[in-house]
Structure 1
Amino acid sequence: MILYLSHAAATTAATAPWWGTALGAGVGAIGAGVVTATVAYINNRANRKQLDKQLAAQQEMLERQLEAQRDQMTKQLDAQLKIAEMNNEANHVREREGQRSELRKWQLETRRETYVDFVVAVEKLRDTIAAAGRLLAGTWPVPEPLSEAALSELQRLETNITSLYEEAFQRAQVVRLTGPDGVADCAKNLGDTMTDYVTFSSDRFRAARRNEHSEMLRDWQKAVREMNRLLQEFVDAAYTVVKLTSTERQSLVPPARNASSGLA
Structure 2
Amino acid sequence: MTDRLDADERPDRTPIVLGVIAAVLLVAVIVAVSILFSRQSANDAPPPAPASSEAPPATGPSDDESAAPEEPEEVEPSAMIALNGRGFTLVQADGTEFSHTWADDPQAAIDALTELFGEEPTEDFQNGDAENWAYNIYVWDGLRFYDVFLGDGGRSRGEVPAPTYVTVTGGAPSTVGMGNEFGVAIGDPIDRVRALDPVDEVELSGGGVRLVLGEGRGTFYNDGERTFSAFVQSDAAGDEVATITYTFRARGQ
The answer to which structure has the higher strand fraction is 2
Which of structures 1 and 2 has the bigger CA Rg? 1
Q: Normalising by structure 1, what TM-score?
A: 0.31
Q: Give the number of the structure with larger relative contact order, counting CA–CA contacts within 8 Å between residues 6 or more apart.
A: 1
Q: Normalising by structure 2, what TM-score?
A: 0.32
